[in-house]
């Protein structure tokens, strides 16, 4: 298995954090093609946009 195309999470990782890692890794794999990433993840483009906005807002709060 190609490790560069996989996501590994440790026991104790929250579902939200695992989801975030999976989304961000999928965006890298699709060269930031959000439509393709959403398709691969089985979510709507709108849901993907909302998740990315959520991550952006959370990063701004922690800075």
| pTM, full prediction | 0.85
Confidence at residue 4, expressed as pLDDT on a 0 to 100 scale: 73
DSSP string, 1-63: --GGG-----TT--HHHHHHHHHHHHHHHTTT-HHHHHHHHTS-HHHHHHHHHHHHHHHHHH-
Which domains are seen in the chain, by residue range? 12-62 (1.10.10.60)
In the predicted model, residues of the chain with pLDDT beneath 50 are none
Confidence at residue 3, expressed as pLDDT on a 0 to 100 scale: 66
């Amino acid at each position: 298995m190609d490790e560069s195309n996989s996501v590994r999470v440790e026991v104790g990782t929250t579902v939200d954090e695992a989801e975030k890692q999976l989304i961000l890794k999928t965006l890298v794999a699709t060269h930031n093609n959000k439509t393709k990433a959403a398709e691969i993840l089985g979510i709507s483009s709108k849901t993907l946009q909302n998740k990315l906005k959520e991550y952006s807002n959370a990063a701004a709060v922690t800075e």
